Structure 1
Amino acid sequence: MKKTFNIKSFSAPIVTFVATLVLMSILMYACKKPTDGINILVDSQSLSPAPTMLSFVNADSTSVNQPGDFTASITGPGASLVQMVSGGTSFQVSHGILSLSLVKGTVPSVANPVVFTVTGQAAGFAPFIQTVVITQDAPSLYVVKALDYTSSAAGTTLLKTTTTLSGGTVSSATTLTTSKTASMTENATLAFAAGTQFQDANKNTINAGTLTSNIVQLGVGNNALTDDFPGGLYAADALDQSGNAISGGVNFVPAGLLSISMTANGTDVKNFSKPVNITMELNSNTANFATGAALKVGDVIPYWSQNDLTGQWKYEGNATVALDGSNKLSVVMPISHLSNWMCGWFWSATSTAGAAYTACGSNLTVNLSTADANFKGGNYTVYLLSAYGNIVASKKGGDLHNGSSVTFKNLPNIAQAKVAVYYKGKQAAVSTLFATCTTGSLAITVPTTATAFADPVNVSVSVTGLCNGKQVSVLPSAPFQLYQQIAGTQAFQPIGVVNIVNGKASTQLDNNATYYLSTYYNKTYYQTGNFTITKAAITIPPLTGFNVTTAYDATSNTLSFTGTIPVPCN
């Protein structure tokens, strides 16, 4: 008779210890081989509270070039509470996936969130910065859009160029200007005075003959600036102009941003011997967040720099809107060091000089319902907007379903605001105008037209980890990234996460659409082959040890996935 022992695990050593006790007890109980007919089933959920997946993808959704393997860093107030989902603090990104969790015993809440910053750089992409805020013990997904140095995403423009130096110095006045595109009608220019020396992090001139520049400009013509904004719109540890921490942090309402990376003969450029002027054109349809009126000549906008190692923003000064040589609204920002540079308004939890608004202390919970009560979809974004269209704040959700919710904390005192829900890159629903400080909660229904699959199929997933041929099975708890092929292309894009809890999950997929699943669990990357959903059992090619068999039940319209992955067990 086969016996199964279900063990609630608390740490990897305890799993091994308890398993050993079980086997010793069996050995003392009967004079036979202790493992005969015994299967030990390990529940891993308690090892990984609040599993959090970061999926790094090309901001250009049509590109097949995607971030690969690299090392990430975790900083910020909650850094000591973060681990890989399978334990350990060697934060390795594999195939663009970083699977994190909180350490055992951590209980995040809205009142006591765990906040940390993830930084790093994949080969061929701009450095990324992502702030993560965890408020509950539940799986979450952050899709981090990386700016590719070889292609421009919608709403961005790219300049990749080389400049001749003499001993690390430009001998004559030099300008670098980004190009304009159909989706990005503004440009930016960096102006270097003759004799400007390019310096390293220690302000030593780099003795080089060639300067390589990668400059990406993000504008407000669509949501690219908000969706790709490095670190997110909330900066918990922002500094004022004197270098002091701004109590309660700040929330940005950006007007434009430049991500600048330069190397001189392979050495990172971090400083300049002379001030460098950035002239950044601004979208003429931008509203002044401080006044609510259309942006005009003479308006004043704060500008900021970001430390690319820690993600910390610093208030550098104020820029005055003027007309440039092309008769376009623009601002000039004098800079002396390299980082991300952003021009935009901000609102603060406290009365801070330069803030457009001071927070009133109220929270807003947006409760979402779906017209199809059984709908389970991918990740979504909720934007808090001013009546004039400024994006005041944004919240990314995990899986859109009936009962999804997000909470905006410590809102600014705006008499007329609205909320817009975006799903699959399109606006799915929008609220009527409301006052931020007196509303408290808001109910929004996402219509079936925004969520409906053309022909949905219910999918149930069961995954078991097999411990190196031992009679020990692990029920993994980890987010599995779901990718869907973009129609008419060979490219796949992440559309959501399948949250595997104790080896189980369920979702809906579209009939005749092509997908694959992947995760980074226990220091190993797992991926299925590509599979096309049908209303029949399908064959899923095995890749990286992720083996899946399927069965279809026509009565419930359910396609069942039963998968196994090899996992190392001590």
Structure 2
Amino acid sequence: MKTVYNLKNIYRILFILVLSIGTFLSCQKINPFDDLELTVNTDIYKAPLLIKFVNANTASSTIPQGLKVTISGAGKDYVLSDAGKKEYIPTDNVLSLVLNKNVSPSVSSPIEFTVSISGNGYVSTSKTFVITDTELASFYEIPVTKVSEPPTGVASTVESVNLTQGEKVVVPATVEKPEVAEITLQPGTQVRDASGATINANNVSVQVVQYTTETTASLQSFPGGFGADNVIMNNGSTTDGDFITGGFVAIDMEADGKAVKSFSKPIQVSVGINADLTSPETGEKIKEGDTIPTWSYDSNTGQWKEEGIATVIRGSDGKLTATFEASHLSYWNLDWYFYGSCSNSGGTVKLNVSSNISSNVNSYDYYGVVYLVDRFNRKYYYTQLWDFDVRNGNTNNGLYRAIRGNGNRLQIMVYSRRNNQLLGSTSVFDACSTSSMPITLNVPNPPTYIDVDIDFTAKCSNKKLNIKPSTWLYLFSLSNGGIYGGYVYAYSRSGLATVRVIEGQTYEFYTYYNGTVYTGRVTMNKTSSVITTSTGKPITGSTSYNPATNRVKLLATYTANDCK
């Protein structure tokens, strides 16, 4: 007997079977994807920037804490935290920023913004950043002065002043800062807040921090750096230029719990002049009767403004002092300002390295110092290149919009972080007419380095999801006190990063994301090792070595508690 199957009946049976299985799964609340973990890449933002706030006093082990950060400037709307938020809260002393995914900065169309820093017990300061590359990940250190432990060449005082009587506040001389600063409030002075309203108070707390021109630590704390953009001149115009300082002070006051911003009567400011200070305009030592231009700096916006002049007088002790009146509070600087046209994109220069190093090294183990050289061949600290690639033939080191001319030139010197040994320097050059500059370096006895390929995964505790994070990694050597090969930064794109470290050293490493720090500890060598937990949220994982490539692979995982 032959059986004949009706095709329509078969489809009907299959449909009923599928419907029955679906109903069964629904009743049992079974999700067929329950055991599946998804992995998501997160490289969506641009131009990652890691800012490390460091104690301006390099002899101190205290790291800045409790800092408040605000963003201002033309490009502020494009700046986000690493989590894509408009909240800028440092984790410990580190802040991770990115640019909106829809922007495309370039040399001809940069994005500029100012990072302003304040905090209880710290002198407010700021730094303006100019972003010209969409893909470049960069880091920067901003020295922050703690009032209770200032760096070499800086001194401070905090005093209460009776406004009815009026008094003088004095920052005395020290061994590293021989100059004296004085602030005098006239009797009957009324103080005003940011809105211009009078603060009803009889006493005001006055904090004055004075910076010498004679120590690098002091000059590194110069607010915003010596290259200044959009400086407001007395005639209302704005210019870009460079400062050479004759001394500067930061003045802050508080009355009735409110910040003082201005006064009914100008305060008298006297800033001591170093005996060796010379004018970059005349080449002569400063003398009685000379004048020095005065400038104010708003640390909330990074705005410089021309204010007037200070007159140099000689006191009964024979020392020189520059005196002027101030109608509001800010940084007040005695500065010579140089500006003018610069045909080379504002001083963009690439440095071509010739050295004895052909193998891989860690650029963070070396740094450059940029000096401004005036027309009389005197050198002034200008800025620091926080890392420097010393390999022969390297052309990645460079400067952007470094100087604007007017007779001033540059010289760059490169040092080892191990012992601050000078490795070599450029000749003195004009950045406005030079786009490429050779530098010859002699690098003695570099250590043995090893490349490490890092693969990071964040496991979400609140859902079955793995994330390949785009975030910063920071490694700090626990060997040799962290002096040589002390730290390495790398930006992990979708969980992947490569770092170069000293072989055999143990590193504490961190990753930062959305206000949380994750940490682990591992020894980088040619044998397998396990990442051990240190402080904070733990990172776990292991390393393996590939002798064929002479590279270490590090697989690391951390758990994120709130994946969205």
Aligned: 1:473 with 2:473? no
Corresponding position of 2:39? 41
Aligned: 1:319 with 2:285? no
Greater Cα offset, 480-489 or 408-417: 480-489
CA shift at 1:385, angstroms?
A: 1.9
Corresponding position of 1:333? 324
Paired AA for residue 351 in structure 2: N
CA shift at 1:478, angstroms?
A: 2.4
| Distance (Å, rounded) in 2 between the aligned partners of 1:472 and 1:110 | 39
CA shift at 1:485, angstroms?
A: 6.2
Cα deviation per residue 1:52-72 (whole Å; 9 max; x = unaligned)? Answer: 111112111232332234442
Say if 1:98 and 1:368 are closer, same or farther in 2 by CA, change over 3 A.
Answer: farther
| Distance (Å, rounded) in 1 between the aligned partners of 2:96 and 2:390 | 23
Corresponding position of 2:132? 135
Say if 1:488 and 1:503 are closer, same or farther in 2 by CA, change over 3 A.
Answer: closer
Paired AA for residue 42 in structure 2: S
Paired AA for residue 141 in structure 2: V
Contact 2:82 2:98 in 1 (8 A): yes
- Superposition RMSD in Å: 3.4
| Distance (Å, rounded) in 2 between the aligned partners of 1:503 and 1:547 | 14
| Distance (Å, rounded) in 2 between the aligned partners of 1:208 and 1:89 | 36
Corresponding position of 1:5? none
Say if 1:456 and 1:213 are closer, same or farther in 2 by CA, change over 3 A.
Answer: farther
Aligned: 1:516 with 2:516? no
| Distance (Å, rounded) in 2 between the aligned partners of 1:287 and 1:476 | 53
| Distance (Å, rounded) in 2 between the aligned partners of 1:106 and 1:314 | 30
Corresponding position of 2:437? 442
Match of 1:72 among 48, 60, 69: 69
Corresponding position of 1:207? 200
Paired AA for residue 54 in structure 2: V
CA shift at 1:153, angstroms?
A: 0.9
Say if 1:493 and 1:241 are closer, same or farther in 2 by CA, change over 3 A.
Answer: farther
Contact 2:541 2:557 in 1 (8 A): no
- SS at 2:250 equivalent: strand
| Distance (Å, rounded) in 1 between the aligned partners of 2:215 and 2:546 | 43
Alignment of 1:135-284 (within 5 A): 135-137=132-134, 138-159=136-157, 161-165=158-162, 169-172=163-166, 174-242=167-235, 244-247=236-239, 249-284=240-275
Cα deviation per residue 1:214-267 (whole Å; 9 max; x = unaligned)? Answer: 32222221223442222222332321124x2414x3322222211122212422
- SS at 2:363 equivalent: coil
TM-score, normalising length: structure 2 = 0.82
| Distance (Å, rounded) in 2 between the aligned partners of 1:417 and 1:295 | 23
| Distance (Å, rounded) in 1 between the aligned partners of 2:315 and 2:523 | 53
Cα deviation per residue 1:476-500 (whole Å; 9 max; x = unaligned)? Answer: 22223344569679x9998452222
Corresponding position of 1:507? 499
| Distance (Å, rounded) in 1 between the aligned partners of 2:344 and 2:273 | 30
TM-score, normalising length: structure 1 = 0.81
What is the aligned-residue identity percentage? 25
Say if 1:434 and 1:122 are closer, same or farther in 2 by CA, change over 3 A.
Answer: same
- SS at 1:148 equivalent: coil
Say if 1:563 and 1:261 are closer, same or farther in 2 by CA, change over 3 A.
Answer: farther
Contact 1:218 1:225 in 2 (8 A): yes
Match of 2:397 among 405, 421, 444: 405
Paired AA for residue 383 in structure 2: S
Say if 1:299 and 1:482 are closer, same or farther in 2 by CA, change over 3 A.
Answer: farther
Say if 1:57 and 1:389 are closer, same or farther in 2 by CA, change over 3 A.
Answer: same
Larger radius of gyration: 2
Paired AA for residue 228 in structure 1: S
Paired AA for residue 545 in structure 1: K
| Distance (Å, rounded) in 1 between the aligned partners of 2:205 and 2:486 | 32
| Distance (Å, rounded) in 2 between the aligned partners of 1:123 and 1:515 | 32
Match of 2:357 among 372, 377, 400: 372
Say if 1:49 and 1:481 are closer, same or farther in 2 by CA, change over 3 A.
Answer: same
Contact 1:548 1:561 in 2 (8 A): no
Gaps of 5+ in 2: 1-29
CA shift at 1:525, angstroms?
A: 1.6
- SS at 2:51 equivalent: strand
Aligned: 1:569 with 2:563? yes
Alignment of 1:6-85 (within 5 A): 34-35=32-33, 38-45=36-43, 47-85=44-82
Corresponding position of 2:17? none
CA shift at 1:287, angstroms?
A: 3.8
Corresponding position of 2:101? 104
